[in-house]
């Protein structure tokens, strides 16, 4: 099943480019990877053939590349992963038909985020361990 995430990273575009240069092989399984600048750093949008494909890239290439650059490994998975997965699955209904050439990443993010937020709130409301 297709899988994806949207993540906000506190890195500069130059750091993003430096990390990308350390990825030595084209990974198998990506359907879309885009990055855009935000006020706080970079927004990454990834869609993969499967979560296993992404995790393989993460383990075999991304984490070693971060290590070569002397960067610490992140402590948490991409934020709101389950909620974004739901939003991504609902994207055709939320975004409508994609124009030729695709949808602008920032536009897609802004259209999907309200739905993702509702899903995340619903998940938190059902989680007995969630902080109120």
Query: Does any domain span residue 52?
Result: yes
Q: pTM (2 decimals)?
A: 0.59
Query: Which helix (H) or strand (E) element contains residue 5?
Result: strand 3-9
Number of separate domains in the chain: 1
* Distance separating alpha carbons of residues 52 and 58, to the nearest angstrom: 10
Query: Does any domain span residue 20?
Result: yes
Query: Does any domain span residue 131?
Result: no
CATH number of the domain that residue 64 is part of:
3.30.70
Query: Does any domain span residue 132?
Result: no
Query: Does any domain span residue 111?
Result: yes
124 pLDDT more than 80: no
List Cα–Cα distances, 39 to 2, 19, 122, in angstroms: 29, 20, 28
Range of the domain at 93: 3-126
Give the residue, 132 or 41, on which the prediction is more confident.
Answer: 41
Q: Which tens digit of pLDDT belongs to each residue from 48-87?
A: 888 899 989 999 999 999 999 999 887 655 545 666 666 7
Query: Does any domain span residue 90?
Result: yes
Q: How many CA atoms lie within 13 A of 132 on its CB side?
A: 2
Query: Does any domain span residue 24?
Result: yes
CB atoms within 10 A of CB 88: 21
Residue 51: both structure tokens together: 């979560």
104 pLDDT more than 60: yes
H helix runs in the chain, sequence order = 13-22, 51-57, 63-68, 81-95, 105-126
């Amino acid at each position: 099943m297709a899988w994806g995430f949207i993540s906000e990273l506190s890195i500069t575009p130059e750091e993003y480019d430096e990390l990308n240069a350390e990825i030595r092989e084209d990974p198998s399984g990506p359907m879309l990877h885009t990055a855009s600048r935000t006020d706080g750093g970079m927004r990454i949008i990834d869609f993969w053939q499967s979560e296993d494909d992404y995790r393989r890239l993460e383990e075999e290439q991304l984490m070693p590349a971060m290590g070569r650059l002397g960067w610490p490994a992140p402590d948490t998975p991409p934020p709101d992963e389950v909620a974004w997965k739901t939003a991504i699955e609902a994207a055709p209904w939320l975004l409508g038909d994609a124009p030729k050439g695709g949808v602008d990443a920032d536009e897609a993010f802004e259209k999907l985020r309200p739905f993702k937020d509702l899903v995340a709130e619903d998940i938190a409301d059902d989680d007995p361990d969630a902080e109120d």
